[in-house]
């Protein structure tokens, strides 16, 4: 992963000089990044968006066209089928045991706390472990069950979540040292819904600083390390979520995803991670990376476990202006149905990616052929344009979020996050507006292209093998843009399109590290994606 080359041609020297002169004048801050690197990144994104929007914007276009199209193009999957077998150690199995009285919420919580304490020194998935608070919750739920009240499948189940959600009376770090250690005023919408469903909260999980980074490395709270090899990155930014689940400290977790932040760590740690349809899950009380792209979703060890968590948190919230008015199906029942008539396609034209990843993907495609019949081979040549436009939106909205803090306390930011944010100060406003306006047209192109031949499209999650922490270090001069691009090349575009994507484990490389694939669907097709993953679970290496 080498720094990206600076583009040649007219404009770079002039823009470099402008960045040097105008950063303090226009934005009131001192640049901490080489002006040439910023200029190169701005020119690259500017040119990519200019090319990508050609023919995509017509008079009368509006950013609201995108959510309107999403609602019209939603997928529908009939629920039904026999109850699935409950895998050993799964959330679903633990839930059945709690309800039957074979174990208790307190017993499960004590086991989870013991495992969390065991893995914390080597893997560092937690920001904090709130043991007594979790045990108090567990005892409360055990009393309720003894009195005949069962809140549902999450009753008494120990979970933990990425530290980007507010909690009443408790601090939120967002993996940073920028914020004062002050308590939250209210629970995030998703945490309140989980609480209402009976879930237990073990504590906040580690993450990339400011939910911004694909590796899980964090200079403030310590790196979160891969559950299979601590010398390798965990993926980010929902690093602690994937590691805590993979290491067996919790049965599931909520993360957030702006450019791959649920799917990347899920892939690198060998668990399931669902980036939901934009607007399906409320973001009220979730710290933003880019409000036009951010999605919340579950990470767990099985598709059914993801379905049970999603069931509790999905649905409209008046407190989130981007929340969709969408019916929430029975996700667990859909998983049991198996989606037998699903058409599966393999997304091609994404080379290069590692040979081990190609081999695992080939084997997974063969398994899909056995279960669902012949698969189609599809292309989407606009994927790089979607990536670039998602990158522009993330950088501009990130700069808007962080600008004031960067002016006041620049020393509290790592170099990597500061450098990733600075280009957003200089991207022309018209490029940002064009990226938003072209969104509906590019979504329509995806629906009329790959999705016209299929219900689920498959491609790798990460195109490279899991790097070591040294290989992926982003603090070195000029490294951050190359590292981010190498890891997120196949994930960011689907945030821009707003589609649901499930990362599933499909094998391991020669180093024993997990390999993941993305299952991509139509808007609101989470039920189908989970059902397909469940049907193909037996093909996992």
Same domain, 96 and 221: yes
Quote the CA–CA distance of 226 and 472 in Å, as a whole number. Answer: 13
pLDDT per position as a tens digit, 291-316: 999 999 999 999 999 999 999 999 99
Q: Is residue 261 flagged as an active site residue?
A: yes
Sorted by sequence, the CB contacts under 8 Å of residue 114 that are 6+ apart come out as: none
Spatial separation of the C-alpha atoms in residues 192 and 284, rounded to whole Å: 11
Q: Are residues 325 and 208 in the same domain?
A: yes
Question: Which residue range is the domain that position 66 belongs to?
Answer: 12-70+381-444
Which position has the token pair 């081990």?
356
The answer on 56 and 166 residing in a single domain is no
Residues in the chain where the model's pLDDT stays below 70: 1-10, 78-87, 477-478, 538-541
Same structural domain for residues 485 and 349? yes
Q: Is residue 50 part of a domain?
A: yes
Q: Looking at the structure, tell me whether residues 375 and 486 fall in a common domain.
A: yes
Tell me the C-alpha distance between 62 and 40, whole Å. Answer: 30
* Same-domain pairing of 308 and 423: no
Q: Report how many domains make up the chain.
A: 2
- The CATH number of whichever domain residue 362 belongs to comes to 3.90.1300.10
Which tens digit of pLDDT belongs to each residue from 408-463?
999 999 999 999 999 999 999 999 999 999 999 999 999 999 999 999 999 999 99
Residue 139 in any domain: the answer is: yes
List the catalytic residue out of 31, 241, 256, 261: 261
Domain assignment present for 113: yes
pTM, two decimals, is 0.94
Ranges of beta strands (E only) in 24-98 are none
The answer to whether the beta carbons of residues 323 and 279 sit under 8 Å apart is yes
* Helices 35-52, 429-437: inter-axial angle, 10-degree rounding: 40
Is residue 6, in this structure, part of any structural domain at all? no
Q: Which of 212, 237, 238, 334 is catalytic?
A: 237
Among 31, 90, 162, 292, the one annotated catalytic: 162
Residue 134 CB contacts under 8 Å (≥ 6 apart), including other chains = 109, 112, 113, 158, 200, 201, 202, 203
Could you confirm whether 177 is annotated as catalytic? no
Residues 424 and 506 in one domain: no
- State residue 541's pLDDT score: 32
Residues 224, 301: one domain?
Answer: yes
**Pair 162, 307 in one domain:** yes
Choosing from 392, 412, 444, the residue where a domain stops is: 444
Residues 63 and 193 reside in one and the same domain:
no
Tell me the Ramachandran region of residue 536: left when phi exceeds 0, alpha when psi lies from -120 to 50, beta otherwise: alpha
Of 422, 444, 466, the last residue of a domain is 444
Bridge partners for 205 per DSSP? 126, 162
For residues 19 and 112, state if they share a domain.
Answer: no
Catalytic, 237? Answer yes
Rounded CA separation 273/290 (Å):
20
Please indicate, yes or no, if residue 4 is contained in any of the structural domains.
no
Cα angle: 538, vertex 234, 227; to 5 degrees: 60
- Residues contacting 470, CB < 8 A, separation 6+: none
**Dihedral of the alpha carbons of 174, 180, 183, 186, in degrees to the nearest 10:** -60
Q: Within 13 Å, how many C-alpha atoms sit on residue 6's CB side?
A: 16
In a domain, 369, yes or no: yes
Closest to 208 measured CA to CA, from 158, 159, 262: 262
Together in a domain, 52 and 198: no
User: What is the pLDDT, as a whole number, of residue 19?
Assistant: 87
* Two structure tokens written together for 38: 């910023």
What string of DSSP letters covers 145-210?
A: HHTT----TTTT-EEEEETTB-BBTB---TT-SSS-S--BSS--HHHHHHHHTT-EEEEEEP-SGG
| 208 domain-assigned | yes
Residue 58 inside a domain? The answer is yes
Listed in sequence order, the residues at least 6 apart from 179 whose beta carbon sits closer than 8 Å to its beta carbon are: 171, 172, 173
Model pLDDT, residue 29 = 87
């Amino acid at each position: 992963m080498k720094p990206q080359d600076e583009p040649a041609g007219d404009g770079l020297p002039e823009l470099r000089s402008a960045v040097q002169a105008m950063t303090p004048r226009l934005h009131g801050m001192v640049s901490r990044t080489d002006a040439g690197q910023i200029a190169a990144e701005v020119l690259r994104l500017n040119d990519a968006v200019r090319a990508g929007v050609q023919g995509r914007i017509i008079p009368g276009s509006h950013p609201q066209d995108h959510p309107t199209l999403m609602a019209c193009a939603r997928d529908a999957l009939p629920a039904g089928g026999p109850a699935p077998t409950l895998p050993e150690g799964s959330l679903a199995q633990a839930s059945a045991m709690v309800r039957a009285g074979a174990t208790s919420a307190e017993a499960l919580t004590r086991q989870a706390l013991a495992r969390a304490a065991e893995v914390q020194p080597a893997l560092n998935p937690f920001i904090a472990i709130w043991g007594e608070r979790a045990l108090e919750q567990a005892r409360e739920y055990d009393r309720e069950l003894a009195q005949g009240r069962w809140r549902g499948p999450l009753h008494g189940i120990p979970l933990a979540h990425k530290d980007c959600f507010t909690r009443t009376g408790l601090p939120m770090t967002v993996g940073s040292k920028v914020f004062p250690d002050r308590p939250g005023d209210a629970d995030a919408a998703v945490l309140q819904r989980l609480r209402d469903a009976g879930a237990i909260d073990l504590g906040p999980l580690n993450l990339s600083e400011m939910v911004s980074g694909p590796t899980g490395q964090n200079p403030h709270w310590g790196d979160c390390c891969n559950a299979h090899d601590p010398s390798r990155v965990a993926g980010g930014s929902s690093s602690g979520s994937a590691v805590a689940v993979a290491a067996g400290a919790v049965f599931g977790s909520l993360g957030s995803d702006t450019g791959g932040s649920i799917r990347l760590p899920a892939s690198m740690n060998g668990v399931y991670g669902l980036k939901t349809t934009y607007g399906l899950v409320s973001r009220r009380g979730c710290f933003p990376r880019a409000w036009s792209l951010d999605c919340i979703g579950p990470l767990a060890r099985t598709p059914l476990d993801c379905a049970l968590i999603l069931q509790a948190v999905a649905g409209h919230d008046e407190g989130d202006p981007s929340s969709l008015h969408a019916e929430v199906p029975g996700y667990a029942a859909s998983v049991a149905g198996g989606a037998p008539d699903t058409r599966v396609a393999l997304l091609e034209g994404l080379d290069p990616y590692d040979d081990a990843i190609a081999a695992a993907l080939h084997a997974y495609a063969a398994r899909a052929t056995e279960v669902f019949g012949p698969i189609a081979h599809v292309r989407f040549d606009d994927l790089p344009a979607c990536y670039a436009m998602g990158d522009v939106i993330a950088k501009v909205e990130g700069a808007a979020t962080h600008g004031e803090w960067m002016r006041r306390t620049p020393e509290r930011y790592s170099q990597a996050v500061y450098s990733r944010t600075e280009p957003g100060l200089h991207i022309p406003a018209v490029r940002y507006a064009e990226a938003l306006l072209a969104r509906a047209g590019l979504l329509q192109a995806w629906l009329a292209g790959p999705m016209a031949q299929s219900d689920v499209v498959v491609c790798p999650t990460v195109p490279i093998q899991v790097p070591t922490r040294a290989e992926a270090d982003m603090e070195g001069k000029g490294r951050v843009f190359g590292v981010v691009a190498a890891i997120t090349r196949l994930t960011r575009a689907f945030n821009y399109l707003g589609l649901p994507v499930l990362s599933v484990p499909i094998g391991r490389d020669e180093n024993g590290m997990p390999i993941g694939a993305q299952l991509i669907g139509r808007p609101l097709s989470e039920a189908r994606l989970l059902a397909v993953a469940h049907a193909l679970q037996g093909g996992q290496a």
